[in-house]
Chain A
Amino acid sequence: ETGVTQTPRHLVMGMTNKKSLKCEQHLGHNAMYWYKQSAKKPLELMFVYSLEERVENNSVPSRFSPECPNSSHLFLHLHTLQPEDSALYLCASSQDLLAESSSTDTQYFGPGTRLTVL
């Protein structure tokens, strides 16, 4: 148990569906992240939020829409996805985004949502 929870753990959806992934962190952290993990690829950073403000959007298609209503919750809204979007979606959090070089802060991951798009 890392203090970061994600729901649902598994999701199967059609290309015309709309669904949302939820992430909650119980660590009092200020920064939250969405990653995509596809088979045989390194983790891909999708979005970064710091103090509920989006600070990074790594050229992610608009069919993925993040939302951070408060520092403990992060959502990823999905609509009109493609089969190639099937992957493990991981949420992570860290105390802060901008760390001093001497900081011991680091990222903690949730268990992920396994998404299958039919």
Chain B
Amino acid sequence: GQQLNQSPQSMFIQEGEDVSMNCTSSSIFNTWLWYKQDPGEGPVLLIALYKAGELTSNGRLTAQFGITRKDSFLNISASIPSDVGIYFCAGTLSYAGNMLTFGGGTRLMVKP
């Protein structure tokens, strides 16, 4: 099936640092979504991107829909301990409606 390559797989950073993670694919996506999952919980939508080149912010989070429609990145500025969790990118393909393809996740650990 279609794959999203998400990197890095894990990050261990100091509180206050900025974080960047990205997803790439060989396929063109209509939508890019970024979710965060806390331990024992379901993924929660952070940012949704619907247009190529779109740059969207949600507080300290910023995400962009790549101009080629094959990639997206998520930046977190001035990380805090509650940013700890697993971040997933997901996308919808043009022929797949709302069916999501997920990346493998980036596990973020923040040291106070």
A interface residues, Cβ below 8 angstroms from B: 2, 4, 6, 31, 41-43, 45, 48, 56, 88, 90-92, 94-99, 101-112, 114
| B67 / chain A contacts, CB cutoff of 8 Å | none
- Contacts A41-B104, A43-B102 known; 19 new A-B pairs at CB < 8 A: A2-B45, A4-B42, A31-B98, A42-B103, A42-B104, A43-B88, A56-B99, A88-B40, A90-B42, A96-B97, A98-B98, A102-B50, A103-B98, A104-B48, A106-B33, A106-B45, A106-B98, A107-B98, A110-B42
- Asked, given contacts A101-B94, A102-B50, whether A111 binds B41 with beta carbons under 8 Å apart, the answer is yes
The count of chain B contact residues (Cβ–Cβ below 8 Å) is 23
Question: A-B pairs with the 10 shortest C-beta distances?
Answer: A109-B42, A98-B97, A94-B98, A43-B102, A112-B42, A111-B42, A109-B43, A42-B102, A42-B104, A99-B98
Q: Can you name 15 A-B residue pairings with CB atoms under 8 Å?
A: A31-B98, A42-B103, A88-B40, A90-B42, A90-B43, A92-B42, A96-B97, A98-B98, A99-B98, A103-B50, A103-B98, A106-B98, A107-B100, A110-B42, A111-B42
Interface residues of B in 67-112 (CB under 8 A from A): 88, 92, 94, 97-100, 102-105
